[in-house]
Chain A
Amino acid sequence: MNAVLHMDESALDAPLSVRGVAHAYEGRNALRGVDLDLPRGSVLGLIGRNGAGKSTLIRAMLGLLEPLAGETRVFGEPALRLSDAAKARIAYVPQQPEALAWLTATQMFDYLSRFYPNWDAGFVERTMQRWQLPTNRVMAKLSPGERQRVDLIRALASQPELLVLDEPAAALDPVARRDLLREVALRAGEAGATVLFSTHIVSDLERAASEIAFLHDGQLLLHCGLDETKERYARLWLPASQSAAAPPHALSRHRHDDGSLSVVVERGEDGGWPEAARLPGARVDALGLEDLFVEIAE
């Protein structure tokens, strides 16, 4: 995983940096010691099942929640005491936006455009039309999906340097979803914006993400470049007769009813699979991201 273990020197003013963050709700652990750095220009897909702690981690990262332990920084500033200058560089879209609900979308955009020097009014107009959103209805009267779409437009229009989206895909139809991914990918790749988006729909992030992180049960199981993840890990299947030879340090192992064994293995220094892959009857299967996630999150 060295490829994206970003060193502390670059983390000093990294868009996002998290050290040892832990949190619990009513005694139930939500985050159990998370370390994460996000370098400029990266697009991180945060994958996890419902309840894995994705929203809690995002809220802690942005200083919207004070974690029980650990340190979170945004552009080098403590997340809980962000300056106005830092706040102006960030846009965050929660799963259920509630702010300014008594305004219409047009009123909200007019109001907010004054605070953002790079506000892109053309983008707002185009995208409101393309995503078929009502401009003159009070936002409290919009469906949750419409409300989140308006909020995504709001976030993108401010042209933020750091864009954080909590489960953005749920509210979008396939066309709008593709539009969003295109915006995310181009802004990161060209304008150097940094993006974090959480999802439980793995296929959504495979186009745009440059890195992925698996959050499971409050812990980061994996944080790696997207391409490297696909190239580095595979599933090794061993028949029952050979299963004792399985490598001891596998990311996951599942014993099947017939005694055969599936383990997630990692390429060695030399780029080869562990020796057990050459045993008679052994089979190595390439894994898509979703398969990998299911293997290690089960």
Chain B
Amino acid sequence: MDASILTIQPTSPEPIYRQIVEQLRRLIAGGQLTPGEKLPSVREVAGFHAVNPMTVSRAYGLAESEGLLERQRGKGMVVATGQGISRSENERMQLLEPHLHETARQARELELPADEVVRRLQQLLGE
């Protein structure tokens, strides 16, 4: 993978290091990142996204402590073995749960009809 696989929204209320960890979690759970795969260096991510290297280090450190990544001698960070596609659909669904709740909350606040929201979501999933 290279640094462009990550999307960073600096103005989001969610700190950048958390955005990175969440994306790694999803990419690993979804199989886009496979066990043993090498991650871009802190410098590559920081340079590509023009963010502070300390923020990227913090994200990698947190992902490591959660068992998503592991540090390999001479190779840097890699996706931890035992991570990834072995996760059940149920577990992967759990990762999406907070975002679905948030979308549902906003849809209710905007008083949007449920079937419209579902139709649009289906459209996006089909893309």
Contact = CB atoms under 8 A, between A and B. Distances in A.
A292 to B, nearest CB: 9
Contacts of A206: 10-11, 16
A173 interface: no
B53 interface: yes
Contacts of B49: 207
Chain A interface size, as a band, is 20 to 34
A287 B51 CA distance: 20
Interface string B38-51: 00001100110111
Interface in B32-70: 42-43, 46-47, 49-55, 57-58
B43 A186 contact: yes
Interface string B1-33: 000000010111111111000000000000000
A43 B13 contact: no
Contacts of B54: 41, 188-189, 210
**Interface SS majority for chain B:** helix
Interface string A262-298: 0000000000000000000000001111110000000
A83 interface: no
Interface string A160-190: 0000000000000000001101100110111
Contact of A227 (B15, B42, B43): B15
A202 B53 CA distance: 20
Nearest to A177: B50
Given A185-B46, A190-B43, A207-B52, A230 B10 contact: no
Interface string B75-92: 000000000000000000
Interface in A183-228: 185-186, 188-190, 202-203, 206-210, 226-227
A288 B52 contact: no
Contacts of B52: 43, 185, 188-189, 207-210
A288 B13 CA distance: 4
Contact of B51 (A41, A207, A230, A290): A207
Contacts of B14: 230, 286
A210 B125 CA distance: 37
B52 to A, nearest CB: 5
A26 B90 CA distance: 68
A39 B75 CA distance: 31
A229 to B, nearest CB: 9
B53 A190 contact: yes
A231 interface: yes
Contacts of A207: 8, 10, 16, 49-52
Contacts of A290: 11
A287 B13 CA distance: 5
B64 to A, nearest CB: 17
A227 B10 contact: no
Contacts of B10: 203, 206-207
Given A185-B51, A189-B46, A208-B50, A226 B15 contact: yes
A189 B49 CA distance: 14
Nearest to A183: B50
Contacts of B42: 189
B36 to A, nearest CB: 27
A166 B16 CA distance: 25
Contacts of A209: 52
A107 to B, nearest CB: 31
A203 B55 contact: no
B91 to A, nearest CB: 26
A100 to B, nearest CB: 29
A204 to B, nearest CB: 9
Nearest to A208: B52
8 contacts: A182-B47, A189-B42, A190-B43, A207-B52, A208-B51, A209-B52, A210-B55, A287-B13
